[in-house]
Amino acid sequence: MEDNIEIEISETNRGNEQIIINKKHKFNFSFQRKDKSKIYRCTEYKTLNKCKSLIILNDKKEVLKYESLHNHLEKEIDVSISVTKHKIKEEIKKNSIPMDIKPKHIFNVVSQEMGLICPEYTYLFSNYHKNIFADGTFYAAPKYSYQLFITRTYVGEFNMFYTTSISILKNKKQSTYETLFKEIKKNANKFRSNILITTINFHCDFEQVKNNNDVYIYYKAISNLPFINPNYIFDIYIIIKRICQKKKYNNFLQFLEYFNKNYLLKYNVNNWNYYENIEHLTNNASKSYNSYLNNIFPNKPLFYKLIYILKEEVKLSYNDYQRRTKGNWKKKQKLFSATDEIKILIENYKSKEINLFYNGCNRNELIKLWKECLIDLNDININLK
């Protein structure tokens, strides 16, 4: 029998008891023995997999026997949905509901949205999938969860951003984010209308460094690297690293090593560089919507209230899209933003770079030029605070 078995109690859609093991597998009640112990079989037992895994619990829900013979993939997403549905049902039972709304109706409406892509999201995923902007908020996340993670897409003909997915994260583990990104990528690919394989650009940012003002300057410099000529990013990274080593910013040096490993070595710099295409900043696309949600939920909401209200918000958003498609509402006027300011600044430095080339400059002069560009970028408020 496995050590450290983690057990959670949930229930099936019909209200029957269900056991969750290690947040990966679901077991439904099978029968009770004479000694009052209960046998639960894997939910894949009655499928084509015919999984033979089972668990036996005594009347105190202690494990007497666990046969882990799973012949199928783990189902973390499916399991998380089941556990969350159970929590929602318990929340609804414990909280006051308006007299004109039946608790069962609320649960059915909410639970149907979980683990699914709304029809509105499906259409936006299928038609506007080239750029996906992502950001998270902690304030609007429901109780007993960690973060609300939101993706949005840009519809150029209306100059509008629309939400394409909303996810509730239980913790900040790397494995949780990896699972999330796999699901987002899978859904984006699933609903794309064309059959050609095209690149999906996923835009996100770093969290703010909480340290002294000097460290924050270097943090902003690293955050602004996506805007400068990618040919000189590594050189400037080395300069920043040497300065931080000299000043003994040990915590920030750990971040620099992470950045080097994941963004300079693991991935092609051109995959996250905006130098040739500065159109939108992740913060502008997502953080404004997060602020909107934070105003709706000044306190951490319950699961069912969050999903119930978000469902209505999705309808409003899609209605906006439909009205603009039909010409009922005009294209949103584009205002001069930090993105435009950055774009102008980068174009100015591109011109300076060309002039240096014509005058026979060396590589060190070009590195110095783009380092000066980073200093100027640091003076632009791009809403990273």
Three-state secondary structure string covering 182-236? HHHHHHHHHCCCCCCCCCCEEECCCCCCCCCHHHHHHHHHHHCHHHCCHHHHHHH
pLDDT, residue 279, reads 65
Mean pLDDT within 223-244: 90
pLDDT, residue 1, reads 53
pLDDT band for 208, please (50, 70, 90 cuts).
low
d(CA 259, CA 240): 12
Contact indicator for 280, 343 with CB cutoff of 8 Å: no
Torsion, CA 23, CA 28, CA 31, CA 35, rounded to 10: 20
d(CA 185, CA 189): 6
Tally the residues of the chain: 385
26 token code pair: 């679901």
pLDDT tens-place string over residues 322-347: 777 777 666 555 554 667 788 888 88
pTM: 0.55
Angle, helix 303-325 to helix 76-94, in steps of 10 degrees: 110
pLDDT, residue 201, reads 66
- Measured between alpha carbons, how far is residue 265 from residues 178, 228, 244, 316 in Å? 19, 18, 20, 43
Looking at residue 164, its amino acid is T
Q: Considering the chain, what is the average pLDDT of its residues?
A: 76
pLDDT band for 41, please (50, 70, 90 cuts).
very high
d(CA 91, CA 179): 26
The answer to whether residue 114 scores a pLDDT higher than 70 is no
- Measured between alpha carbons, how far is residue 39 from residues 9, 53, 65, 275 in Å? 14, 11, 9, 60
pLDDT, residue 236, reads 92
Please list, residue by residue across 71-95, b when 16 or more beta carbons sit within 10 angstroms of its beta carbon and e when fewer do.
eeeebeeebbbbbbbbbbbebbeee
Angle, helix 213-223 to helix 363-378, in steps of 10 degrees: 120
pLDDT band for 199, please (50, 70, 90 cuts).
low
Mean pLDDT within 190-194: 57
Percent of the chain past pLDDT 90, that is, above it, reads: 13
pLDDT, residue 94, reads 67
d(CA 360, CA 210): 42
Going by C-beta distance under 8 Å and a sequence separation of 6 or more, which residues neighbour residue 67?
Answer: 52, 53, 54, 55
110 token code pair: 């909410």
d(CA 10, CA 82): 7
The answer to whether residue 140 scores a pLDDT higher than 70 is yes
Q: Cα 368 to chain center, whole Å?
A: 36
In which residue are the tokens 């000097």 written? Answer: 214
The answer to whether residue 267 scores a pLDDT higher than 70 is yes
Mean pLDDT within 286-297: 75
